[in-house]
Amino acid sequence: MVIKNSSELDAASADSNYDREAEVKAFDESKTGVKGLLESGVTKIPRMFYSGELNLTERSENNSNFAIPIVDLAGIHSDSDLHIEAVEKIGSACQEWGFFQVINHGIPNNVLDEMINGIRRFHEQDSEVRKQFYSREKKKKFNYYSNVNLFTNNPANWRDTLGFLVAPHPTKPEDIPEVCRDIAIEYSKKIRELGHTIFELLSEALGLNPSYLNELACVEGTFLLGHYYPPCPEPELTMGTSKHTDADFMTILLQDELGGLQVLHDNKWVDVPPVHGALVINIGDLLQLITNDRFISVFHRVLASQTGPRISIASFFINYEYKDEGTSRVYGPIKELLSEENKPLYKDTSVKDFLTYYFSKGLDGDSSLQPFRL
Ligand code: OGA
Ligand code: NI
């Protein structure tokens, strides 16, 4: 808990018997995640989930005058006016928001809906079945766990997650649970294709050759997380996902119809409203680094809610395979974007060094790029 005033300090010291480490350990050993807590009938959330920083005014700060841009990709391959319009819209969205949504992106609605259903089916299997998959082992190609950074001192989030690799070395089909296998493979394939197209549009929006970012290998790696946010009995005390930026070049997010995702824009939290059939695209830290701050990787978070479960699927474009040579690749600000007036702001940084720093830090709300600034 983050202690902010003397009455909170009193409350914390009055309960000096609280053993966070033991609570976290027991939770992790249950191997059934936050969903397991609900299944066991909790009506109050355990203290390890207290975020200790939220208050109702911060939650309700949302300003409806702002809206995340929606970019229509229909016709961009056949009509040059539509193409130019989409590139311009994407360019300004990436500079001002770091976020936009795309519609008519070519992935059919039934694939999106079935992917959400598949992730739901996995998380709603019997707890005995889920337990068999529960693991934090980096070496495993399919993982199910709650809170990637559970063993740091950061407040735990009200969320469970499954994860698998899509590229460069995809998780073998037989290692993906059958309840979501076919759709996970089909969705991943389509997300890779869309990712390739979005990187072309982003390259053009930077004034570069369309193939530029793909040739820089931004598209080389992808891993996918399927989040499950169970309904929360005390949503004002915790977060679905703490404030963070993404440790990648770009993320493509599919969210269901419940909402709760918010983006920090001009110091205000702005909702990313669910749009059926749309995908949310956001710029990650490494794209901010190579564009020398032209495109921004912005803080976002997910509120906990009494309504749920909420399901979302995040596809991260970065080579996440620690053993793969791609992670030793070094990135710095793109030379073509630099000039006398726009000097490099970042050191050359390897994917591995960046990821190591990011995951040692946890989702604590600080900028992950700071140590790599010149
Ligand atoms: C993430 C993320 C948002 C969501 O996985 O990095 O920001 O809606 N997810 O689940
Ligand atoms: Ni994120």
Compute the distance from residue 9 Cα to the ligand 1 centre, in Å. 32
CATH architecture of the domain formed by 6-372: Sandwich (2.60)
Is 129 in contact with 30 (CB distance < 8 Å)? no
Residues with beta carbon inside 6 Å of ligand 1? 225, 227, 241, 246, 253, 255, 261, 300, 302, 312, 314
Compute the distance from residue 300 Cα to the ligand 2 centre, in Å. 6
Compute the distance from residue 298 Cα to the ligand 2 centre, in Å. 9
Report the nearest-CA residue for atom 9 of ligand 1: 314
Q: Beta strand pairing status for 99-103 and 70-72?
A: parallel
Is 186 in contact with 173 (CB distance < 8 Å)? no
CA distances to 92, 177, 227, 282 from 254, rounded to whole Å, are 22, 20, 10, 12
Kindly give the residue spans of alpha helices, DSSP state H, lying in 257-310.
Answer: 285-290
* Cα–Cα dist 295/372, whole Å: 16
Angle CA(322)–CA(326)–CA(330) in degrees, nearest 5? Answer: 110
Beta-bridge partner residues of 312: 227, 255
Residue 29 host element (H or E): helix 20-30
Is 28 in contact with 150 (CB distance < 8 Å)? yes
- Show me where the domains of the chain are located: 6-372
Question: Digits of tens for pLDDT over the chain (374 positions)?
Answer: 444 444 454 455 557 788 999 999 999 999 999 999 999 999 999 999 999 865 544 555 555 556 899 999 999 999 999 999 999 999 999 999 999 999 999 999 999 999 999 999 999 999 999 999 999 987 788 999 999 888 888 899 999 999 999 999 999 999 999 999 999 999 999 999 999 999 999 999 999 999 999 999 999 999 999 999 999 999 999 999 999 999 999 999 999 999 999 999 999 999 999 999 999 999 999 999 999 999 999 999 999 999 999 999 999 999 877 666 767 899 999 999 999 999 999 999 999 999 989 988 776 667 899 999 99
Kindly give the residue spans of alpha helices, DSSP state H, lying in the chain.
Answer: 6-14, 20-30, 33-39, 56-59, 80-96, 109-123, 127-131, 181-205, 212-215, 285-290, 351-361
Q: Mutation test of ligand 1: which of 241, 355, 363 has the most ligand atoms closer than 8 Å to its C-beta?
A: 241
pLDDT at 17: 86
Is 162 in contact with 143 (CB distance < 8 Å)? yes
pLDDT at 62: 56
Report the nearest-CA residue for atom 10 of ligand 1: 312
Predicted model pTM: 0.94
Nearest ligand 1 atom to alpha carbon 314: 5
What phi, psi does 279 have (nearest 5°)? -120, 140
Compute the distance from residue 366 Cα to the ligand 2 centre, in Å. 14
Compute the distance from residue 193 Cα to the ligand 1 centre, in Å. 21
Is 228 in contact with 160 (CB distance < 8 Å)? yes
CA 173 distance to own-chain centroid: 23
Report the nearest-CA residue for atom 6 of ligand 1: 246
pLDDT at 6: 43
Q: Beta strand pairing status for 310-317 and 250-255?
A: antiparallel
Nearest ligand 1 atom to alpha carbon 280: 8
